[in-house]
Amino acid sequence: MEEQAIMTGLEKVFGEVFHDSVIQLKPDTIVSDVEGWDSFSHIRLVLAVERSFKIRFTTQEIQSWANVGDLCKTILTKTR
């Protein structure tokens, strides 16, 4: 999967989780940039991303993310 396609897929998942259809993600987007991104929505987000891309993250992978770019990279390595 290409990086751009992943970002588009992520925007769709983010839109569903945060009820924001016009959400625009960048690689340096962080938690505080997205309204409503708290502990609970983070759990929902991880599960939704796993379902959408049909992958599973390890705790190590989840813990190493600092921004959306890191999440995208993990998906990229898992879907190659």
Partner 1 sequence: MFFNSIQYILFLPAVVILFYLTPLRFRWLLLLAASYYFYMCWKPEFIVVIVVSTLINYSSALLMSGTSVQKRKKLIMISTLVINLGLLVIFKYLGFIAEMFQTIFQSDHPSRISPALLLIAPIGISYYTLQSLSYIIDVYYGRRDAEKHPGIFALYVAFFPLILSGPIERSTHLLPQLREKERQKLHSVNIEEGIKLIIFGYFLKLVIADRTSIYVDAVFGNLPRHGGITFMAAIVLYSFQIYTDFAGYSAIAIGSARLMGFDVYQNFNRPYFSSSIREFWTRWHMSLSSWLRDYLFNPLAFSFMRIFRKERYLKIISPEFLTYAFAAFITFFICGIWHGARLTFMIWGSLHGIYLIIERAIDRKTGKRLLNIFITYIMVLFTWIFFRSDNVHDAFLIIRTIFTHPGKLYIPFDSDVVAPVYAVLGIVILLLIEIKREFFDLKFSLTKNRNEYVRMITYGLLIFLILYLGVFDASQFMYFKF
How many other β-carbons are positioned within 10 Å of the β-carbon of residue 48?
17
- Tell me how far apart the alpha carbons of residues 15 and 40 are, in angstroms, rounded to a whole number: 16
Q: Which of 9, 33, 42, 69 binds partner 1 (CB under 8 A)?
A: 42
32 near partner 1, rule: CB under 8 A: no
Which of 40, 54, 77, 80: binder of partner 1 (CB under 8 A)? 40
5 counts as binding partner 1 under rule CB under 8 A: no
| Residue 38 engages partner 1 in binding (rule: CB under 8 A) | yes
Q: Which of 4, 32, 60, 77 binds partner 1 (CB under 8 A)?
A: 60
CB 55 within 8 A of CB 79: yes
Residues shown for the chain: 80
Rule CB under 8 A: which residues touch partner 1?
Answer: 38-40, 42-44, 46-47, 57, 59-60, 62-64, 66
